[in-house]
Structures are given as C-alpha cells and as structure tokens.
Structure 1
Amino acid sequence: MDCENMDKEILIKILKEKDELLKRLVLEKEKLNYYASIDPLTDVLNRRSGLVQLSKELDLSKINGNNLVVCFVDIDKFKIINDVFGHEEGDKLLINTSLILKNSIRKTDFVIRMGGDEFLVVFPETTIREVNKVWYRILKSVEESNRNNEKYNLSLSYGCYEYGNEIENKVTVNDLIRRADIEMYKIKNVKKEDFNYKYRNNVRW
C-alpha cells in the first residue's frame, strides 16, 4: 500500500472518530439539559424550567389568540402523612401523584413541581370545559390508587384559571399562578370546613 492510500485511510479513520465523538458530546449535552430541567424525585419539570416553558406558552397564546389553562395542585394533609409515616412514604406519595397527573394529560400538556407538595399543570390551547374532563380522569385514578392503600387516602385540592387572549393581554405568568392558587385554596377551605364539621359531630370520614 502506498503512502497516499495510507494517508487517506488514516484521515477517514480520524474523521469517523471525530464524528462519533461529536455524537457522544451531543447526547451528553442533551442528557445534561434533561436532568437540569427535571425534578429528580417526581420526573416532572422543575420549577425553573417549568416556568420558562409556561412563559413561552403564554406568549404563544397572546400571539395566536388561543386559550391557556393553568391548574394549581396541592396534596391534602401531606405534612401529616409525612410526619406519621415518614419521609420515604411522603416521597412515594409525591411520585404517585406526579404519575397520576402525567398519565392523565395530553402530550402537549405538562406538569411542574413547584416545590414541596405543590404542582402546576399547564394545558395549552384548551378551555376549562376540556380540562374538567381531564380532572375527572385524574380523580378516578386517585380513587383507584386509594383502593390499594390501606394506610391513608390520597386527596388533591386543585384550582384552575383560564387565560383568554380576548379578555386580557397584559396578564403575566405570576398572575396565572396566583389566580389558580386562589381557586385552589377555595376548594381546600371547603374541605377544611367539611372536615371540622364531621369532627365536631363525630361523623366518620
């Protein structure tokens, strides 16, 4: 084999190795980006990356005139469950809740862990009426989960806010979250009043 052919083979080998190295670097970068955006416990978007995504969806809604629904979700009595059964059980509850939420929504929707036992579910290009159908599926999944749990019942409080471009165009991401949070606390307060009534009157719950 002459020197020219040897040089070509060496060059081809170097280029192939370089190509493989670049592919590995791209994959590693994608992995790093994924882990930087995902909550490690629940495998949903973490607060930072989730709010960035929500901001993009809000901008798109303003441009395209599409509705956007945001739901704030809170696990009822999470602290009590954590204290009584331990943090490991609390982690299992968070994982189970995130699975129920993820498995009940569309591919275009997404879940954000805001912190602790609080989640945000974002529904782009949809309305409250459609979201209510999703929540029916979520609550049915919660019921099913509770049939297999003899320790305690999972209970979720949630509040939804629908943004409509024709109504208000200056709303911010913080406005969406705050308004959904207000709706969630309305439900949570009703549950507290119901619990207190049953406790005072010795009604089994």
Structure 2
Amino acid sequence: MDYENMDKKILIKILRHKDDILKRLCLEKEKLNYYASTDAMTGVLNRRSGLKLLDKELNLSKINDRDIVVCFVDIDRLKIINDTLGHGEGDKLLINTSKILKESIRKTDFVIRMGGDEFLVVFPGTTMKEVNKIWYRICVKIEEINKNSDKYSLSLSYGFYEYKKEGKSEMTVSDLIKKADFEMYKKKLNKKEGFDDKCINNINK
C-alpha cells in the first residue's frame, strides 16, 4: 500500500475542506456587516452606519478642500397612507422611495434612512449644480410613477445644503443635517400653505 500517496490525498482533502470553511466564514462575515450597516426594510444605510460614513466624507471635504451636498428628504402624507390604506402600503411607499433614490444617484453618493419617513442623501465631492441634474432624474421618475398610480401620489419634501470649506471648518455632521432639515421644513410649510411645489418646477436643470 502506498501510504505516502494516501497521506498526500488526505492532506489535500483537509486543505480543500479548510479552504471551503474559510470561504463560508468570509461570506457570513460579509452578510453580518451588510445587515449591521443597512436598514432592514429599504436596504439603504441605517442611521448609525450612514452618519459614520457622512462624518468621514465631511472630514475628507475639509482636508481636500472640496464641496459636499446633503439633502434631507421627507415623504409627504405617509401617516395618512398608513391610516387609510394600511401599513403594508406605507411600507411599499418607503421601499419604492428608497429604490428611486438609490437608482438615481451616482456610485459615490449614498442614502441613509434617518428613521420613519425621513432620509438623507449625501453627494460627496460635488456642487449643487451637479446635484440639480441628479435630482431632476428623481423628479422625472416620481412623475412617471404618479401617472400610473390611482391610489395616491408620491410626494417628497426635500431640502439641500451645500458645504463649502471657506469659513466653515468647524462645521459638524449635525450642523449639515440641521441646515438641510430646515430647508426641507420650509418646502413642506409652503405645501401646507397651498403654494405650487411640483418637483420639476423647483429644479434648475
């Protein structure tokens, strides 16, 4: 009996098995990291991991002297939809909104679910002029969806804030969010007061 060849075969099997185990462990680790960093319902970044990434991007903007734009987004009338059509329909609205946002932005941009019906979209290393072009695509998709919907119209209130380094080196992530949130609130207030606020009408292409 050739014990030497047998030992080699056994060793190869052991090494292959070990390699398979390592691959499975790596995949499991990737899954855990994904679930730990994303919102379970929408698949966008959750608040904790998203704000951590935003803090990193803001610091890079300060170091590299580049702009960064944040947009605070609020889904209009989500509570009414939940109350009248059910939470299942409300969940669909959240999922569809996040899908529109994710599919419209660039690879370098990211979406954070802040909680409930609120999202934050981050555009690193860009200016408001470029963001307007991206947001126009979002507005077009919303209008297309609304043309084919007989239940309700998808409507977003949103506010932008563009960070520029000049004189703002002490600005924090919290400051960025507050300023974008304030701009969003003004837009939502205009809607409540009856002003026409169609998405495309408010974008400079």
TM-score w.r.t. length of structure 2 = 0.92
Deviations 1:23-71 (A, max 9, x none): 1100110011111111111111111111111111111111111111000
Matches within 5 A, 1:1-205: 1-194=1-194
RMSD: 1.1
Distance in 2 between residues matched to 1:5 and 1:19, nearest whole Å: 21
Deviations 1:126-149 (A, max 9, x none): 011111111111111111110111
Deviations 1:97-142 (A, max 9, x none): 1111111111110111111000000000001111111111111111
- Partner of 2:194, secondary structure, is helix
Distance in 2 between residues matched to 1:161 and 1:194, nearest whole Å: 24
Look up the match of 1:200.
none
Q: How far off is 1:174 after superposition?
A: 0.8
Look up the match of 2:202.
none
Q: How far off is 1:167 after superposition?
A: 3.3
Look up the match of 1:198.
none
Would you say how many aligned residue pairs link Structure 1 and Structure 2? Answer: 195
Distance in 1 between residues matched to 2:16 and 2:82, nearest whole Å: 54
Deviations 1:72-119 (A, max 9, x none): 000111111111111011001111111111111111101111110000
Stretches of structure 2 that go unaligned for 5 or more consecutive residues are: 196-205
Distance in 2 between residues matched to 1:9 and 1:166, nearest whole Å: 67
Distance in 2 between residues matched to 1:167 and 1:22, nearest whole Å: 50
Q: How far off is 1:166 after superposition?
A: 2.5
Stretches of structure 1 that go unaligned for 5 or more consecutive residues are: 196-205
Report the AA paired with residue 5 of structure 1.
N
Distance in 1 between residues matched to 2:54 and 2:48, nearest whole Å: 10
Distance in 1 between residues matched to 2:11 and 2:140, nearest whole Å: 62
- Partner of 1:194, secondary structure, is coil
Q: How far off is 1:5 after superposition?
A: 2.1
- Structure 1 runs (4+) deviating above 3 angstroms are none
Report the AA paired with residue 2 of structure 2.
D
